[in-house]
Amino acid sequence: AQKVTQAQTEISVVEKEDVTLDCVYETRDTTYYLFWYKQPPSGELVFLIRRNSFDEQNEISGRYSWNFQKSTSSFNFTITASQVVDSAVYFCALNPYSGGYQKVTFGIGTKLQVIP
Amino acid sequence: NAGVTQTPKFRVLKTGQSMTLLCAQDMNHEYMYWYRQDPGMGLRLIHYSVGEGTTAKGEVPDGYNVSRLKKQNFLLGLESAAPSQTSVYFCASSPRTSGANTGELFFGEGSRLTVL
């Protein structure tokens, strides 16, 4: 069985602060994909990033960065210099490398509020 | 550039009524899914389909039925709605991948259902 834990249910930061969203996962699969999705107040789910278990390189995209550490089964997401538009619920998700149907397991989400 | 479209966006039902949520995708994806999102529970898979004419149960299938008569459409039915089915429902689709399972899901905008 696989599991994704997002221990932070809600976080509030003041605009321009940095914030890290934690994600810890459990899986028996040796190969898998990890994802982050963003759900802004409008409600849609937006794909942010995919990382496969072979690639532990950190990734940076603008103000967003992701730190994947297989040794601690973590895939944390950092927003640098947060903005009000970053206010959203962020979901971490795990998918086994099994081909075909995507058996994705989602965390419960972290609600981020950026205060102006 | 429609992607995944869900109808209706909002619906209020009385206990015992029936209804159908329609999901349509124009990306020629093989796989389609229905999730429900509840506070503190994240996204949970209700049913999924790996191709036209095929459906399968997900994590929380009870009280729901689905059909995939056409590749582009995936219908979610509630035969006798219950207050416990008050939720936000998301449809998603993903392409068939050969070998690697990248797992990226493309979501609709969600349908908010209230059962009184």
**CA distance to partner chain B, nearest, from residue A101 (Å):** 6
**CA distance to partner chain B, nearest, from residue A14 (Å):** 24
Residue A12: pLDDT over 60 = yes
What pLDDT, on a 0 to 100 scale, did the predictor assign at position A96? 78
CB-nearest to B50 from A96, A97, A100 is: A100
What pLDDT, on a 0 to 100 scale, did the predictor assign at position A98? 62
What pLDDT, on a 0 to 100 scale, did the predictor assign at position A90? 97
| Mutate: best of A45, A50, A75, A108, partner B, most B CBs <10 A | A45
Residue A31: pLDDT over 90 = no
Report the C-alpha gap between B26 and A75 in whole angstroms.
32
What pLDDT, on a 0 to 100 scale, did the predictor assign at position B116? 95
**CA distance to partner chain A, nearest, from residue B32 (Å):** 9
Return residues 61-80 of A near B (CB < 8 Å): none
Task: Please tell me if residue A54 touches chain B, with a CB cutoff of 8 Å.
Answer: no
Which residue, A74, A68, A63, is CA-closest to A27?
A74
Report the C-alpha gap between B106 and B97 in whole angstroms.
14
Residue A36: pLDDT over 70 = yes
Average pLDDT rounded to a whole number, residues A74-100: 89
User: A103 with A96: CB under 8 angstroms?
Assistant: yes
Mean pLDDT, chain A, integer: 90
Contact flag B48-A101 (C-beta cutoff 8 Å): yes
CB-nearest to B107 from A33, A44, A52 is: A44
What pLDDT, on a 0 to 100 scale, did the predictor assign at position B2? 72
CB-nearest to A47 from B98, B100, B104 is: B104
Higher pLDDT, A104 or A75: A75
What pLDDT, on a 0 to 100 scale, did the predictor assign at position B1? 63
User: A99 with B99: CB under 8 angstroms?
Assistant: yes
CB-nearest to B101 from A37, A98, A109 is: A98
At A85 the three-state DSSP class reads helix
pLDDT (tens digit, 0 to 9) for every residue of chain B, 116 residues total? Answer: 679 999 999 999 999 999 999 999 999 999 999 999 998 888 999 999 999 999 999 989 999 999 999 999 999 999 999 999 999 999 999 887 655 556 688 999 999 999 99
